[in-house]
Amino acid sequence: MTASASSARLDDAPLTLPERPLVSIVIPCLNEERYITGLLDALAAQDYGPDGIEVIVADGGSTDATRELVRGYQSPFARLELVDNPRRITVAGLNEGMKAARGDCWIIIGAHSTVRPDFVRQSVEALKRTGAACVGGPIDTVGDGAVGRAIAAAMSSPFGVGNAKFRYANEAGYVDTVPFGCYHRRVWEVVGEFDETVDGADEDSYNARLIEAGGRIWLDPAIRSTYYPRRTLQALARQYREYGAAKGTLFARGRPLRPRHFAPSAMVVGGPALWLAGRVSKTARIALRGLALAYLGVGGFAAYRAAKRHGANPALTFAAMATMHLAYGAGFLEGWWRERANRA
């Protein structure tokens, strides 16, 4: 299934909401028995009032206890529904969840996360106050264990994630994307479904289409959530390779991207290219050494600072940053090449 959209635009008319809108929360998940109950508890404790919230869990066929935990949850919500996601990928789960949603506004929340008690209220208030099509806030990344803490530190550093402000910013303003965004219902009607041909770029890709349709995205530091990252470098590499492949696919289709999306692939291509050129060129050898020293120096310093803030090991934090960059860069090139080959 591909994305579809109407010919209308989000800036055709003001985006208004009822006094107390019904909020649909869509949670795509697969084998999340470790986290799903904690997330539902956090949503049940919202000071917005759980009776103003409906929760749709889109499950991709979990083989652990996730489905039983959702079905057995003592729901205080206006509605709690478990829907099937037979395609299993995140974007398909978002579409299945949104087809079942009835709210005046909707929020995407990853099952690997939790939210503060005022998360829904702050989101709705910001949506009303700004008139934006989508609002969201900074995400706090909290890791478990030595490697998990290092990954959390890497994902909270500008060196690790570029200018993805939702990872570390504390100032309000318009941005290109946010995690766990709260969207006006009209966004779904105008922008259409999530693109199921590209998994791994779900919110980023959708938010780019939102902006193209005349909508704006507001980052508000009062909207706070917590994300629990992968617990091993191998899992982190798989995650970031998927992210990179999605961006590479979109780039091959002609979608404009931000500079931060190209830096890792430039490193993946540039390093080996300079090494090969260095076999015959002294200038290339000098350039390679200089760039390597710069990466180690700047990255090492950034890793030290990020590790200190998160109580993590600096060496592991640097390893996590390098893993993210290499996996994302390789994935970007893979996605770009595959899409070009398919279109040839």
Q: What is the pLDDT of residues 161-190, one digit of tens each?
A: 876 666 656 788 999 889 899 999 999 999
How confident is the model at residue 99, as a pLDDT? 95
How confident is the model at residue 27, as a pLDDT? 97
Is 245 in contact with 330 (CB distance < 8 Å)?
no
Residue 22: closest CA among 78, 75, 76, 74: 78
Query: pLDDT tens across 17-73, in order?
Result: 999 999 999 999 999 999 999 999 999 999 999 999 999 999 999 999 999 999 999
How many beta carbons lie within 10 A of that of residue 252, not counting itself? Answer: 18
| Measured CA angle at 152 (ends 149, 157), to 5 deg | 130
User: d(Cα 344, Cα 340) in Å, to the nearest integer?
Assistant: 6
Sheet harboring 113-115: ordered strands across? 113-115, 225-227, 139-141
User: d(Cα 157, Cα 52) in Å, to the nearest integer?
Assistant: 36
> What is the pTM (predicted TM-score) of this model?
0.86
Predicted confidence (pLDDT) at residue 342 exceeds the cutoff of 90: no
How confident is the model at residue 199, as a pLDDT? 77
| Measured CA angle at 314 (ends 309, 316), to 5 deg | 120
Is 29 in contact with 93 (CB distance < 8 Å)?
yes
How confident is the model at residue 203, as a pLDDT? 82
For range 130-159, the mean pLDDT:
92
Give the residue ranges of DSSP H helices in 45-144.
66-71, 90-100, 119-130
How many beta carbons lie within 10 A of that of residue 36, not counting itself? Answer: 24
Query: pLDDT tens across 269-320, in order?
Result: 888 888 889 888 999 899 989 999 999 999 999 999 999 999 999 999 999 9
User: d(Cα 152, Cα 155) in Å, to the nearest integer?
Assistant: 5
Question: Among 65-74, 90-99, 334-343, which is the least confidently predicted range?
Answer: 334-343
User: d(Cα 43, Cα 118) in Å, to the nearest integer?
Assistant: 10
User: d(Cα 54, Cα 76) in Å, to the nearest integer?
Assistant: 10
Predicted confidence (pLDDT) at residue 82 exceeds the cutoff of 70: yes
Predicted confidence (pLDDT) at residue 260 exceeds the cutoff of 80: no
For range 253-267, the mean pLDDT:
83
The b/e string for 193-204 (b: 16+ C-beta within 10 A; e otherwise) is bbbbebbbbbbb
User: d(Cα 245, Cα 242) in Å, to the nearest integer?
Assistant: 5
User: d(Cα 285, Cα 170) in Å, to the nearest integer?
Assistant: 41
For range 120-132, the mean pLDDT:
96
How many beta carbons lie within 10 A of that of residue 96, not counting itself? Answer: 20
Chain mean position to CA 170: 18
User: d(Cα 260, Cα 51) in Å, to the nearest integer?
Assistant: 41
How confident is the model at residue 2, as a pLDDT? 47
How confident is the model at residue 226, as a pLDDT? 92
